[in-house]
Amino acid sequence: MPKILLTAAGSYGDVAPYTGVGARLRAAGHEVALATHDSYAPLVRAAGLEFRRLPADPRSPRPDTDGPARTAGPGSTRALMGRAAAFVQELAGGLADAALQGADLLLLSTTTAPLGHHLAEAMHLPSLDLPLVPGAPTGDFAPVVGGGRSLGRWGNRTAGRLSLRVLDRLYAEATRELRARLGLPPATARTVRRRTEAAGRPVLHGFSEVLLPRPADWPARLEVVGNWWPWHAPDARLPPVVEDFLAAGPPPVFLGLGSMAGGDGERLGALAADALRRAGLRGILQAGWAGLTAPEHPDLLTVGALPHALLFPRMSAVVHHCGAGTAAAGLRAGVPTVPVPVTADQPFWAARLAALGVATAPIPFRDLSADHGAARLAHALTQATDAPARRDRALAAAHRLAAEDGAGEVAEAVDRLTA
């Protein structure tokens, strides 16, 4: 069997789904390594995969970006691009180190694919792109990182092409340095991307058509195969303190922001507690990267990391930032969602959930800081928990998701590549 190297970088939601893919490939008899950040090493190893370290761990303290981005303001586009480019540049060398430890096939995430293509070229390896979000231009919707507001079919396609050029710029310096290290002739990120597209390799997208139908104007090589779910032990159970809380009253509401809003945990926890009190609901607050905390109360429990697959089905509704993985997990559980998108692709997925009729209207995260943030959240919680039709639609969507096997589709594609 060939040695498979999965590569994934970023937040938990950017990495965890690939542990499910890796575990499925391992069960099929493959030898699988997952290259990612130190924060996820325990999860990778628990899934039975070899761990290979990548730098640029987002959970580690990082120095300010050097150069023009430092003086552009922390929230400016130039600052964000500067930080992202520095992240990519640091990542490139780590990916090369991981691949050079041995691999016969590269499986690449959205973040690692633009770098992994150079590794595949230098090492003469087959590769397969496994993005969690749609990135190719289409008339059906605007680029997901733009919030998803449609610009019309022509405008959507044009914006999609422009977004690829921005991505090429983001990877430009890392591309130059990586190709030099690998002994490859100079080539721009745009040239390599177009070369890859022209080769006609399949791209398997790890989201469900239940939430986002595959665009009809995509070329055939761009496939949508269904979600990949984070691995958890088959005998995993919720902690006794959680089971006791669940047994003590009606199903609570889940509230969490994942890797978002770091350092604002106390304020957000107090706001969540106020909203739950106004709505007359019980709640489970997940600390996450923000470190959400709330005053002790018999109707509110604060927890750490728990598998969404075990927790969400026990909830009356879920409140979260709508990262791709969390949005899918809520849909899989068959419970209504209150979307609180923060940035990147989150407004896009929040809008998709609302359009499907399984979520309330999104509440942009910045609106929680307004004077009536708690009241607005409480109103949304009431809407989510008091609407049987919304729950029925969520259950119907969950039933359709249960019929999909995204990881199995990847395993079949790997078999075809390695036959």
pLDDT one digit per residue (tens) for the chain, 419 residues: 789 999 999 988 899 999 999 999 999 999 999 999 999 999 999 999 999 999 988 766 544 333 333 333 334 456 667 788 889 999 999 999 999 999 999 999 999 999 999 999 999 999 999 999 999 999 999 999 876 688 999 999 999 999 999 999 999 999 999 999 999 999 988 899 889 888 888 999 999 999 999 999 999 999 999 999 999 999 999 999 999 999 999 999 999 876 655 556 777 888 888 999 999 999 999 887 666 777 778 899 999 889 999 999 999 999 999 999 999 999 999 999 999 998 889 999 999 999 999 999 999 988 887 668 899 999 999 999 998 999 999 999 999 999 999 999 999 999 998 87
Distance CA 47, CA 34 (A): 10
Pairs from 367-370 (Cβ < 8 Å, separation ≥ 24)? 368/268, 368/271, 368/340
pLDDT digits (tens, 9 = 90+) for 130-151: 999 999 999 999 999 876 688 9
Smallest CA-to-CA distance from 54 within 22, 90, 103, 26 is with 90
pLDDT digits (tens, 9 = 90+) for 166-177: 999 999 999 999
Strand partners, 129: 108, 203
- Residue whose structure tokens are 């926890």: 269
Cβ(401)–Cβ(331) below 8 Å? yes
One-letter amino acid at 293 equals: T
Q: Which two tokens stand for residue 44?
A: 């990778």
pTM: 0.92
What rounded mean pLDDT belongs to the chain?
90
Pairs from 167-172 (Cβ < 8 Å, separation ≥ 24)? 167/114, 167/135, 168/193, 169/81, 170/81, 170/84, 170/85, 170/88, 171/85, 171/88, 171/114, 171/115
Distance CA 211, CA 217 (A): 18
